[in-house]
Amino acid sequence: MEQENWTDGIGNVNLFVKKMRIGDLILVPDNNKKYVYIGAIESDYYHDPKVDKPNEGSYPHQRKVKWFYDKNPLLRSDLPEEIRGSLRYPGTIANITKHIAIIEDLLNISEKINPKDSLVKKALKVLEELLEDNDSEIRLKAAEIIVRHGTLNE
């Protein structure tokens, strides 16, 4: 990037490569700026040499993403003002952690789309509550189920 005099982009690549983590939520505006896609990072950073064509505006710096709403976009105008304001950030990458509660509320709409996810969340909440039960056998059983099927944060 320095050879091409693209030093402004080095900071964005550094954030993309070193700071973003699997499980981070992302909001990606469409090129037309009318729509926004919401996803979660599913892989570590990797470089794809097949698409590394600098003169063609390619994006060789990659991460796999799970797109919510079957990769259907949301209208930017339907988003809360706090989110729309952060999407006006002039840089390529902006930290939107301060809006996590709003974004999670948006994602809870997906429970209507995929009720199985809603049931899993409810079941995990029950197990989490059972970890605090007075009966040690109940706590142990809840812990065994969680360990066998993954953590609450997965």
Is residue 16 within 8 A of residue 61, CB to CB? The reply is: yes
C-alpha to C-alpha distance for 49 and 43, rounded to whole angstroms:
17
Least confident of 70-74, 116-120, 131-135: 116-120
Q: Is the model's pTM score more than 0.75?
A: no
Per-residue pLDDT at 8 exceeds 90: no
pLDDT at position 46 is 92
Is residue 119 within 8 A of residue 108, CB to CB? The reply is: no
pLDDT digits (tens, 9 = 90+) for 58-79: 788 899 999 988 888 888 888 8
C-alpha to C-alpha distance for 142 and 148, rounded to whole angstroms:
10
Per-residue pLDDT at 114 exceeds 60: no
Is residue 101 within 8 A of residue 83, CB to CB? The reply is: no
Half-sphere exposure of 4 (CA within 13 A, CB side): 9
Average pLDDT over residues 100-128: 69
Give the mean pLDDT of the chain: 79
pLDDT at position 63 is 92
Average pLDDT over residues 107-111: 59
pLDDT at position 109 is 54
pLDDT at position 133 is 86
Per-residue pLDDT at 150 exceeds 90: no
Q: Whose structure tokens read 């079957």?
A: 70
pLDDT at position 111 is 46
